[in-house]
A = this chain, B = another copy of it.
Amino acid sequence: MRTVLESYIRTMTAAVLGLCTAVLISPSSVYAQLLTFSKQELTDYTAQSTFERLPDGRPKVPEDLLERARELSSEEVWAVLEEKGFHNQYADGFQILHPEKPMVGRAFTVQFMPERPDVKGVASAKAKERGLGPLTNQTAIDMLQPGDALIVDLFGKKVNGTIVGDNLFYYVMKATHSGGLVVDGSIRDLNGISEIAMPAYFKAVDPTPIGNVMLTGINIPVRIGGVTVMPGDLVVGDREGVYFVPPQLVKDVLDRADEIHIHDEWTKKKFDEMKYKSREIYSTPADPALQQEYKEYLKKRLEEIRKQRSPK
């Protein structure tokens, strides 16, 4: 009988501890944020990713893929995502800092909502109970990891919707190793910020500091324009806008991009010969000889690229 009892106790204890742990390790519960999205939920909802995970549960797109992603443009991402049925992963309409610099990072998401004293009061009390200070933009910023891109839903707020000024922008640059910033809201101190070499996408600039808002979620799903961004998405920004690539599609996107780069190279080379109408070459040559020529070119260049990439 004892074993039964013991085993029962063990099971129950484990269950309770498991639940408690699950609760405790999720950033939401630690920081008393309004909307919760536990580490378990994050793991469940991003289960298609086969990459390692960051301690906070986000899929960790590997370094070498981040590196390759610096060559991506919006069109190349579009091709694969469209094919896979992801029609809502692109956001634009931003002012872009350093448009000539590609932005590549792992999505670290933050959500703000308009302030209500009653809700904020409860959140503060909950935080205090756990010996914590109130949630602020710096709470989130201080959790950033190298390679992260900070993705902020400030619901397009301009006045008092400034996620950072130049000091915190500098900190984000240091902490993420220039990962980047996307804010559906504003920044302040553009003069200072424009001297710091991290890509940033923002809706407006304003001299006021952030205010009249509550931080309601860290690393929860957030909406940026027409995109549902999941923590850990690969964030790719170019001169046009920002693509949020689900981790499980990153490899496909990058491989396709290699082919598109080579196709562009070849197409322009043929156009340089000045012998063809555009339709004879692009998007696919009708002439079988040209098709063959391209096929060989593609094969050769892909091999070169792979060789170049393989570690020496």
By a beta-carbon cutoff of 8 Å, the part of chain A in contact with chain B is 5, 8-9, 12-13, 15-16, 19, 34-37, 41, 44-48, 73-75, 77-78, 84-90, 92, 113-119, 122-123, 126, 138-139, 141-142, 155, 165-168, 170-171, 174-175, 188-192, 194, 205-208, 212, 214, 216, 220-221, 223, 226-228, 230, 238-241, 243, 246, 248, 264, 267-268, 271-272, 274, 277-279, 282-283
Contact = CB atoms under 8 A, between A and B. Distances in A.
B41 A141 contact: no
Given A114-B88, A115-B88, A141-B278, A41 B36 contact: yes
Is the contact region of chain A dominated by helix, strand, or loop, or is it mixed? mixed
A173 B271 CA distance: 10
Given A122-B47, A221-B113, A207 B282 contact: no
A87 B212 contact: yes
Given A174-B272, A191-B240, A228-B214, A168 B278 contact: yes
Contacts of A77: 207
A243 to B, nearest CB: 8
